[in-house]
């Protein structure tokens, strides 16, 4: 089983990814970022999930805001004001750790150098801080998988070319993309290509497993948002990144390129700039995931929702 370290801003699709991780891997910790909603909510949601799973996974609160600039937007309009569909869950019992997320990332990778797959499902603020505190941090990570970016410019934020995780904290993404010699990048456009038909989603939820019942509850707001915006099918960005983390061989098409983040552009701040034609001369740092085996992706989700 893979050993994972998950940096996350739960978030509905983060929740699904975290359920998948606990079903199919060992999870050393959840380090929590602000993003979809504020840090108080994302930390609480992480604790709610650990309670649901009856797990003991440590939850480390991280940075409450981006490194440099206040964000233009959050994603409460998709995930709900509390990030979990405004269901009104009771205060979770599982505690939050006192140790900051960035310090936990450093300590855990010192304790188990070369063993941990780091999966980044939110803005990259905590990872960037860890890199700045200790530039040797990337060398201790076995593999980094990032959900982020929009490699051909079809973003999902108010700023057209940017994807949410990168657009929320572009400087953090810049620091991480420069510091890690190679990482897997699962971008927004790949997740749209891997949307599931509604009937498949309905089949998973019908399992009646507590995890499926929970997921259907928190997904309500996002489902209404999707319907209003004519987004068809079930899109689960963080779940796709998690599938790639759990099983690298699920990838059937990829491109290895240099990827950088635009920090200044008049129209393009937060855009993911891919050197498709190798003109800029930068060293390739990202394996851009283009297609995965959809059936195996579905199986990883189904298993986490108690199907079969
Ligand atoms: C990313 O942004 C968040 O809203 C999702 O949880 C995902 O991590 C998709 O752009
Ligand atoms: Ca997320």
pLDDT of residue 140: 98
Distance of CA 13 from the midpoint of ligand 2 (Å): 6
- The predicted model gives 83-88 an average pLDDT of 95
- The predicted model gives 64-83 an average pLDDT of 92
Q: Is the pLDDT confidence value at 52 over 80? A: yes
pLDDT of residue 227: 83
pLDDT of residue 10: 98
**String of DSSP letters for the chain:** --EEEEEE---HHHHHHHHHHHHHSEEEEEEE--SSS-HHHHHHHHHHHHHHHT----EEE--SS-SSS--S--SHHHH-TTSSTT--PPPPSSPPPSS-HHHHHHHHHHHSTTTPEEEE-S-SHHHHHHHHH-TTGGGG-SEEEEE---TTS--SSSSTTB-HHHHH-HHHHHHHHHH-S-EEEE-HHHHHHTPBPHHHHHHHHTT--HHHHHHHHHTHHHHHHHHHTT--SB--HHHHHHHHHH-GGGEEEEEEE-EEE-SS-TTTTTBEEE-TTS-S-PPP-EEEEEEE-HHHHHHHHHHHTT--
Distance of CA 242 from the midpoint of ligand 1 (Å): 13
pLDDT of residue 221: 87
- The predicted model gives 251-273 an average pLDDT of 96
Using a 6 Å cutoff on CB, does residue 74 contact ligand 1?
no
- Best residue among 238, 239, 242 to mutate for probing ligand 1, ranked by most atoms within 8 Å of CB: 238
- Best residue among 147, 185, 193 to mutate for probing ligand 1, ranked by most atoms within 8 Å of CB: 147
Using a 6 Å cutoff on CB, does residue 169 contact ligand 1?
no
- The predicted model gives 215-235 an average pLDDT of 87
Distance of CA 269 from the midpoint of ligand 1 (Å): 17
Ligand nearest to the CA of 76: 1
- The predicted model gives 78-102 an average pLDDT of 96
Put simply, whether the predicted model's pTM sits higher than 0.90 gets the answer yes
Q: Is the pLDDT confidence value at 211 over 90? A: yes
- The predicted model gives 216-238 an average pLDDT of 88
What is the interface pTM, i.e. ipTM, of the complex? Answer: 0.99
Using a 6 Å cutoff on CB, does residue 84 contact ligand 1?
no
Ligand nearest to the CA of 146: 1
Distance of CA 114 from the midpoint of ligand 2 (Å): 25
* Tens digits of residue pLDDT in 159-180: 778 999 999 999 999 999 999 9
Using a 6 Å cutoff on CB, does residue 188 contact ligand 1?
yes
Using a 6 Å cutoff on CB, does residue 36 contact ligand 1?
yes
Confidence of residue 77 (pLDDT cuts 50, 70, 90): confident
pLDDT of residue 27: 98
Q: Is 280 exposed, middle or buried (0-12, 13-18, 19+ CB in 10 A)?
A: exposed
pLDDT of residue 202: 94
pLDDT of residue 308: 80
pLDDT of residue 203: 95
Using a 6 Å cutoff on CB, does residue 7 contact ligand 1?
no
Q: Is the pLDDT confidence value at 45 over 80? A: yes
* Tens digits of residue pLDDT in 9-18: 999 999 999 9
User: What residue owns the CA closest to ligand 1's atom 10?
Assistant: 164
Distance of CA 116 from the midpoint of ligand 2 (Å): 20
Ligand nearest to the CA of 33: 2
Q: What are phi and psi of 142, to 5 degrees?
A: -65, -45
Confidence of residue 142 (pLDDT cuts 50, 70, 90): very high
pLDDT of residue 50: 98
pLDDT of residue 160: 74
Using a 6 Å cutoff on CB, does residue 121 contact ligand 1?
yes
């Amino acid at each position: 089983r893979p050993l994972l370290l998950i940096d996350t801003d739960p978030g509905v699709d983060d929740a699904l990814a975290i359920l998948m991780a606990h079903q199919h891997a060992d999870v050393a910790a959840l380090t929590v970022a602000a993003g979809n909603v504020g840090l108080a909510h994302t930390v609480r949601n992480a604790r709610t999930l650990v309670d649901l799973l009856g797990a003991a996974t440590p939850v480390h609160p991280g940075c409450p805001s981006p490194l440099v600039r206040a964000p233009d937007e959050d994603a409460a309009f998709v995930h709900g004001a509390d990030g979990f569909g405004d269901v009104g869950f009771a205060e979770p019992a599982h505690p939050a750790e006192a140790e900051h997320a960035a310090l936990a990332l450093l300590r855990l990778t010192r304790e188990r150098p070369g063993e941990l797959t780091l999966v980044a499902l939110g803005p990259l603020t905590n990872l960037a801080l860890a890199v700045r505190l200790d530039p040797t941090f990337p060398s201790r990570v076995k593999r980094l998988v990032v959900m982020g970016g929009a490699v051909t410019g079809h973003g999902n934020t108010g700023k057209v070319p940017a994807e949410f995780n990168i657009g929320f904290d572009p400087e953090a993404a810049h620091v991480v993309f420069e510091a890690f010699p190679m990482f897997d990048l699962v971008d927004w456009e790949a997740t749209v290509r891997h949307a599931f038909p509604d009937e498949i989603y309905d089949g998973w939820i019908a399992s009646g497993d507590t995890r499926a019942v929970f997921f259907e509850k928190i997904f309500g707001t996002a489902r209404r948002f999707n319907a209003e915006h004519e987004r068809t099918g079930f899109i689960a960005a963080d779940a796709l990144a998690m599938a790639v983390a759990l099983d690298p061989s699920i990838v059937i098409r990829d491109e290895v390129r240099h990827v950088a983040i635009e920090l200044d552009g008049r129209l393009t701040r937060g855009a993911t700039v891919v050197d498709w034609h190798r003109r800029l001369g930068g060293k390739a740092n990202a394996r851009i995931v283009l297609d995965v085996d959809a059936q195996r992706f579905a199986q990883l989700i189904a298993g986490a929702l108690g199907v079969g």
